[in-house]
Structure 1
């Protein structure tokens, strides 16, 4: 099959949906399909350009249209590129704010329905709209109501043959709006690094240079990947993990890695002072995907900065579970209308076999309904 993916932006490492789509396309090409990406509102380019972006062993064809392009010009470019590619399917990777800075892409979606008329459509909701619960701020409720109406109009107009979303929360939100979507779970965008681990330089990484068996014997290794938000209960997590380590005659080692802020690092430092326990902390900062995998392979547990209710749309959670890391979720984001529906699904996420977090497994799930209809 020949599939064209439509996203907002596609700058490597700067756009989660763009990175997701690039990895998915690479997996599809690995299965012998043809796929390419159109970024219709790319904020990281100032003019239209075609390029190839690397994903694993694949070079993915990408057409990037700048965000500041005129609306009619943008739609003409999208139409022309789709016609040139002659796809069997067009897959829209939907996030409202990817197609409009205020999350209300009315003009674009209305005109896009005309462009898409000749094609089979797959619609993937990475996000649907804001203000999904009565606990939401008033402004979110107002904007979200407009986004909800726009999404319903778009779905009715393009009549997608397949609709997916990544988690049961959004599946329930869509269902309340009369939109049926099947689950297509997220995958890890951090593949498991094979072969001998690279040596770490400097004092921060020295603990990771000892062999894995000695490391596991000496440390209970806890990781925090990415941003550390104020709501995360670090002190309770540190106390619990320290007790576990002491019971196993181990030292507690906390490893922070990935893109974070100085505020987040300070929150951890403050929590360590408050806990007042003998804990070793090393900070590795941003790392390559291979390095991230090497760190995850050393972890016993990770402290999640994502609320339990949103774990299904967390790429970090997906990466940790692919690497068989236990995940502690210290945050709860109460959603009164949906809590009773999504709580069972959280247990399902934790029990999902590690191999089902791979891009290859998810790519096969993506293809199943498209192949049947095709």
Structure 2
């Protein structure tokens, strides 16, 4: 099968969607498929891509409004792409959807979101994808509310496993932060929970910021919390994927500051989970609880900050023998191929 991935700017190691396409493409090639990647960095390039679209058995659209256009909507360029894909075999994965649909969203975001939603629904109406995926609960819930039949697809981690000889110091509990540090995350509550874990385990808490760090309000809040609680905080700086894997393996617990309802779009959080770390995260309440989902691969590894019993459960988890790494790329590739086969039969 010849598969063409279509996405915005292709920039592996600097863009989560690019990392996703890069790793999934390699896995599909290993399975005997022909894969092409077509990307664009401007609406002019998107229009050219639509005009010059080559023949393929499947076109896999990796959709995110701000990856397709810096202003968040693509107008005629997106309509031209839809027209080029009409009557072809199309599969769409939504990494992000329209903005402005959360409680308390600014009026500007709501207005922009109306335009984005109209563009997305029009694109789907014209292309009639055989498969529509969303990588997180929030996107899945909004698509279904808009009358779109969509399925959950696990977005795997962006860090392959690299064998490590790191031996853990049983007197230390290393807590790993990998990925964006969101400023809306309740860092003070995190400090309380980590203190509870310290009291239960009697192990010194060390916080480790893994990978490239941008100065942000989230980082400032993390540093302030660490100082107030007496935790040491270290930053590794930019690392290779192999080095990141080894640093993750040196940790006993991971923290995801991505809200729980969109945690599925975080390749960094997936990397922590695939390395089998338990994860502390936070539900900001933007998506109704009954619509929250997580991959069944990791349902016993995720703990909520709001759960007062969480520290005790984490303390039990971290004394267990380390579990085997999960190859999320192979898992997702198999799911995609199985879904395509089922769709072709229907």
| TM-score, length of structure 1 as denominator length | 0.79
Tell me how far apart the structure 2 counterparts of residues 162 and 359 of structure 1 sit (CA, whole Å): 19
1: CA distance between counterparts of 2:64 and 2:88?
21
Rg larger for: 1
Q: Tell me how far 1:349 sits from its aligned partner.
A: 6.9
Q: What is the CA–CA distance in structure 2 between the aligned matches of 1:266 and 1:135, rounded to whole Å?
A: 25
Gaps of 5+ in 1: 43-66, 198-210
Is 2:136 aligned against 1:185? Answer: no
Kindly state the Cα deviation for residue 348 of structure 1 after the two structures are TM-superposed: 5.0
SS of structure 2 residue aligned to 1:285: coil
Residue 283 of structure 1, CA deviation:
1.6
Do the aligned residues in 2 keep the contact of 1:321 with 1:357 (CA within 8 Å)?
no
Write 1 or 2 for the structure with the bigger share of strand: 1
Tell me if the contact between 1:3 and 1:34 (Cα under 8 Å) persists in the aligned partners: yes
Q: Does 1:75 align with 2:47?
A: yes
Counterpart residue number, 1:54:
none
Q: For residue 334 of structure 1, what is the aligned residue in structure 2?
A: 285
Q: Which residue of 2 aligns with 1:369?
A: 339
TM-score after normalising by structure 2: 0.85
Distance 2:295 2:35 in 1: 34
Q: Give deviations 1:265-312, integer Å, cap 9, x for gaps.
A: 44333222322x3x3322211111111110111111122211122212
SS state of the match for residue 180, structure 2? coil
**Distance between the aligned counterparts of 1:182 and 1:236, measured in 2?**
33
Counterparts in 2 of 1:244 and 1:286: CA distance versus 1, 3 Å? same
Task: Report the equivalent of 1:267.
Answer: 221
Pick one of 256, 265, 271 that aligns with 1:304: 256
Alignment of 1:79-228 (within 5 A): 79-80=51-52, 82-83=53-54, 86-194=55-163, 196-197=164-165, 211-213=166-168, 215=169, 217-228=170-181
Structure 1 residue aligned with 2:202: 249
- The answer (yes or no) to whether the contact 1:123–1:162 under 8 Å persists in 2 is yes
Query: Larger relative contact order (C-alpha < 8 A, sep ≥ 6)?
Result: 2
Equivalent position of 1:291 in the other structure: 243
SS at match of 1:319: helix
| Whole-Å separation in 2 of the counterparts to 1:240 and 1:12 | 35
Report the equivalent of 1:351: 299
Kept in 2: contact 1:186–1:357 (CA 8 A): no
